[in-house]
Structure 1
Amino acid sequence: MNAAPDTSTQASEGPAPQQQSLPRRILARLGRGAAWAVFALIVVMGLAFFGGPIPLGPAEDAVSVIAMLVPWMTVPLIAFGAIAIAAAVLAWRAKRHALLTAGVLAGLLAALMIAVPFAAASTAAEDHGAALSWGEYFAAPDTVTPDQTETYAVIDDEKLYVDVYLPEQPAATVPAIVYVHGGGWSGGTRDESAAAQQWLADQGLAVFSIDYRLASPPRWQDAVGDVKCALGWVRANAGDYGVDPSNVSIAGDSAGGQLAMMAAYTVDDAQFPPSCETEEAPVTSVMGWYAPTDLTTLTADSDMPASAEGYLSDYLGGTLEAETERYEASSPLTHVTAGLPPTMIVQGEADRLVSTAQGAALADALESAGVPVTELDLPWTHHGFTGQWGGWGSQVLRPAVAAFLEEHVAR
C-alpha cells in the first residue's frame, strides 16, 4: 500500500516566488538607464555652472556655453530634479543603494542651480531697490513690436534700418536713446532685445534700435561709423518723434556696448568718421552692458578664448599680433579722457566670455579722468542675461538703469 505524499514541507515553504516577466525586466532596465542619463546631465550642467574654467582647448568654450545656458533652463532643471528624486525613492524601495545616492545628489545639485542664483540676486536686489518676482521669472515673454521701422541709411547698397519705440504718454519733448545690438560684431539683430527697448520707452525715452554692417569683412571702422550715422539721423529727425535733439544717449549690449562706447568716446575722431553725411555731437550718456572695453586683453581675460579670438579676428581683420594698432584703436579704454559723457558699465560676475576685468578697467580709467561712472556687477549672472528680460539679472538691472537715467538724462 503506497503512503500518502507528505505535503507539510510544501505548505510551510509556500508558493515559489514569481520572476518578473521579460518585458517588465526590460522596462526596469530602461528606466534605470534613463535615470542614470538624467543624473549625468545634471552633473555635467552643475560642474559647468559651479566649476571654474577648464583648460580643455576648444572644449573649454563648450563648457562655458553650457554654463551660460543653465539660467535659461530653470523649468527643465525642476523637471530633472523631480525625476532624480522620484528615481531615488524607487531605488530606496528596491534597495539599489548606488542609484539612491546618485538620485539624491543629482536632485540636490539641480536645486542648488536654481537656489544659489536666486539667493545672490535677492541680496543684490536689496542693494538696488528691486523686488524680485518668480511670476515674472517664469512668465512667457511679451510680444513686442516697434511703433515704426525706418531706413536711416543706405551704404554700399545695403539698407540699414532703425526700429522706433515711443513713450505712450510723451512730454512735449523727450530724450532719445540709440540702442546697438550685440552678436560678436558678426551677428545679432536690432529686434533681439525688444523687451529691453520697450522697457526703456516705458521710462519716457524714445528708443531707436539700429542695424549696422556686420563682419566679415572687417568692420572695425564701418560699424562705429554706422552707429554715428544713426545718431545723426535721430538728431536730424528729432522733430518727427518729439525728441530733444540735444538730449540723445546711447546704449548697447556685448559687442553693441563696445560700439556704443566707441561712438560716444570718439566724437570728431578722424579714424572713426560717420559713414554718412552728418555732424557729430556728444551724447548725453552711454551704457555698456557686458561690453568688451579692451580688445587687446579680451581673449586673455576670457574663459571662452577660442570664441573671443574668432569674433575679434573677423571684426578687426586679423589676430592681435598682426593687427595690434586696430585692437588698441577699437578699445573704448584707449579713448578715455576728461569730459566724456556719464557712463554706466554693467557686468555679470559669472560672464565666461567678457571678464569682469574688462568693465573694471574702464571704470577705473573713467573715474581717474573725472568722468561720472556707474558700475554694476551682478552676482551669478552670465553673458547675454538681458535676453532673459524676466531673469534675476534683468530684474536687478532695471532699477539701477532707471536711477542712472534719472540722474544723468533730463526728462
Structure 2
Amino acid sequence: MQQLEAPPHPKPARLSHGGRTVVVLSVTLTLVLVAALVALWAPLPPAGWAWKTYLVTSEYALYVVVLAVVCLLLALALRAVQRRRLAWTVTFVALLAMIAGLLPTANLLITAHLTGAHLSVRDYFTGGLNLGKPDPARTVTYATVEGRELPLDVWLPPRSAARPAPVVVAVHGGAFVSGQQGQYPKWNGWLNEHGYAVFDVQYRLAPPPRWNQAAGDVKCAIGWVRAHAEQYGIDPTRIVLMGESAGGTLALLAAYSVGDAALPPSCPAPDSSVKAVVGLYPATDLVAGWHDNSLGGYTRDAVEKFTGGTPGTAADAYRIASPVSYVRGKLPPTLLVHGEHDALVDPETQTVRLSVKLEAAGVPQELITLPMTDHGYDFQWGGWGTQITRHALERFLGKYVTSPAR
C-alpha cells in the first residue's frame, strides 16, 4: 500500500524586494510629512486655534531636525532601491523641514549670546516637562477668607546655619480663571537648588470677578510668609514675587500697589512689600489685552470674567488691576521675560510698554524678549527659551537679592 507523504511545511513569508520598498516608502513619507508639517509652523506667527500647535513646534523644533535627518537617511535607502525621483523629493522636503526646525534655535542662539546665557543641548533633550500639581505633603493653609481656605506649597532649600534663606513667592498662571499652585514644579526645585525658599501660592479664581481680591490674596500670602520667617528659616527682608502669565500680572500688581487702599491684602498683612519682582509673559495693561482679543476671544473672555465687564462698563477695575497704572519711582527692581510670538499676550502692548515706562521712571528693570517663542514656553524645561530665562533670573536675583548659593 502506497504511503502518502506529508505536505512540506510552508516557509515563512518574506517581503519581496518590492514589498520592502513599499515599507520603506511608507515610513519615509510618513516621517517626512510629519517633519515638514510640524517644522513649517515654527517660523510663522501663531494665530487662533494654532497657538498650542505653534507652542509645541517652536519648543520642540530640534526634535524635528532629528526627524528630518532620519528622513534623509531613509532617502538614501530609496536611492539604493532605484527610487531616485522619490528619493530626491524626500530629500528636498526633509531639508526644508530641517531648515525650518533650525530657525528657532538659530534665533535663540543669538539671544543667548547677547544675554550671556550658555545653552546646553543635553539639557534640551533631557529637561522633560515642567508640569505638576499641588503636593499634599507640602501644602499648608495661609488664610481662610469668606469661609474658604487658601493654600500654598512650601519648598525649602537645604538649611544654612550661616544665613536665613531668601524667599520667592510664586504665583501661578491660568488667565485668572484656572490653574493651581505647584503647576510649574521645576521652577521651585531649581530655586531651591540656588538657595531660595519658595512659597507657591493659590489665589481665588474668577468667576466671580476677582480683580480686587486675587492680588489681595497674594499680599496676604506675603504677610503670612513674613510672620513665619523664623519657623522656616527665611529672611523676611529678601522676598521676591515671581509669576507667569496671569500670575505674572498679579505678582507685578501686588508688588507695585503696596499700601494702595484700592487693593488691600485679603487678610491682616502689615507689610506686603518685596525686594524684587519677576513677570514671565504677563499682561500689564488689561485694556490693551481686551482690545487684542487673542485666540478668537479667549483673552477677552478671561479678562471680562476677571474684571466683571468691559473697559466701558468696568473702567475702574481695568485701571486698578493693570500694573502699568502704578508706574512711579522707587518701585521694586523688575525682570520681564516675554516670547516675541506670544499668541495670548502681545509683548508690544504689554511688557515692552511697561518696560519703557519703568525706565522713564528710573525703576531698575530688565526686559528680555525671546524670538520665535510663544506663551507658556517654560513648560519645556530644557527648551532654549527656558534656559535663557533661568540664566537671566539667576543673574537678576544675584544682583538684587543675593542668593547664599552664589
Residue type matched to 2:53 in 1? I
Q: Which residue is 2:3 aligned to?
A: none
Q: Which residue is 2:5 aligned to?
A: none
TM-score with structure 2 setting the length: 0.84
Indicate whether 1:48 and 2:41 are aligned: yes
Q: Aligned partners of 1:406, 1:251: CA distance in 2, in Å?
A: 15
Match of 1:385 among 374, 377, 381: 377
1:302 and 1:352 in contact (8 A); partners too: no
Q: Which residue is 1:124 aligned to?
A: 111
Match of 2:399 among 402, 407, 411: 407
Residue type matched to 1:324 in 2? A
Q: Identity of counterpart residues, as a percentage?
A: 35
Task: Spell out the pairing of 1:8-407 with structure 2 (5 A cutoff).
Answer: 36=29, 38-53=31-46, 60-74=47-61, 77-78=64-65, 80-82=67-69, 84-86=71-73, 88-89=75-76, 92=79, 93-95=81-83, 97=85, 99-100=86-87, 102-141=89-128, 148-170=138-160, 171-301=162-292, 304-357=295-348, 358-407=350-399
Q: Aligned partners of 1:336, 1:146: CA distance in 2, in Å?
A: 38
Residue type matched to 1:242 in 2? G
Which string of whole-angstrom CA distances, capped at 9 and with x for unpartnered residues, describes residues 262-299 of structure 1? 10111122221111222233211111011111111124
2:129 and 2:381 in contact (8 A); partners too: no
Which string of whole-angstrom CA distances, capped at 9 and with x for unpartnered residues, describes residues 13-64 of structure 1? xxxxxxxx999989977875665555444443334321235xxxxxx32223
SS at match of 2:173: coil
Residue type matched to 2:280 in 1? W
SS at match of 2:107: helix
Structure 1 position 80, deviation (Å)? 4.1
Q: Which runs of 5+ in 1 are unaligned?
A: 1-20, 54-59
My pick for the range that moved more, 169-178 or 266-275, is 169-178
* Aligned CA distance change for structure 1 residues 102 and 222 (closer, same or farther; 3 Å): farther
SS at match of 2:41: helix
Q: Aligned partners of 2:228, 2:192: CA distance in 1, in Å?
A: 18
Q: Aligned partners of 2:273, 2:121: CA distance in 1, in Å?
A: 40
Which string of whole-angstrom CA distances, capped at 9 and with x for unpartnered residues, describes residues 65-119 of structure 1? 211111444576256425543554455555473x445422331233234422222
Q: Aligned partners of 1:127, 1:27: CA distance in 2, in Å?
A: 50
Q: Aligned partners of 2:84, 2:305: CA distance in 1, in Å?
A: 54
1:173 and 1:244 in contact (8 A); partners too: yes
2:62 and 2:101 in contact (8 A); partners too: no
Structure 1 position 240, deviation (Å)? 0.7
Q: Aligned partners of 1:182, 1:354: CA distance in 2, in Å?
A: 12
Q: Aligned partners of 2:314, 2:104: CA distance in 1, in Å?
A: 39
Residue type matched to 2:123 in 1? E
SS at match of 1:50: coil
1:351 and 1:383 in contact (8 A); partners too: yes
2:76 and 2:87 in contact (8 A); partners too: yes
Q: Aligned partners of 1:225, 1:136: CA distance in 2, in Å?
A: 37
Structure 1 position 314, deviation (Å)? 2.2
Structure 1 position 141, deviation (Å)? 3.8
Let me know the Cα RMSD of the aligned residues: 3.0
Q: Aligned partners of 1:204, 1:156: CA distance in 2, in Å?
A: 35
2:173 and 2:246 in contact (8 A); partners too: yes
2:129 and 2:380 in contact (8 A); partners too: no
Residue type matched to 1:156 in 2? E
Q: Aligned partners of 1:302, 1:134: CA distance in 2, in Å?
A: 36
Residue type matched to 1:376 in 2? I
1:49 and 1:66 in contact (8 A); partners too: no
* Aligned CA distance change for structure 1 residues 38 and 290 (closer, same or farther; 3 Å): same
Residue type matched to 2:370 in 1? L
Which string of whole-angstrom CA distances, capped at 9 and with x for unpartnered residues, describes residues 114-137 of structure 1? 422222232322333322111111
SS at match of 2:57: helix
Query: Larger radius of gyration, structure 1 or 2?
Result: 1
Q: Aligned partners of 1:242, 1:81: CA distance in 2, in Å?
A: 51
Q: Aligned partners of 1:308, 1:48: CA distance in 2, in Å?
A: 22
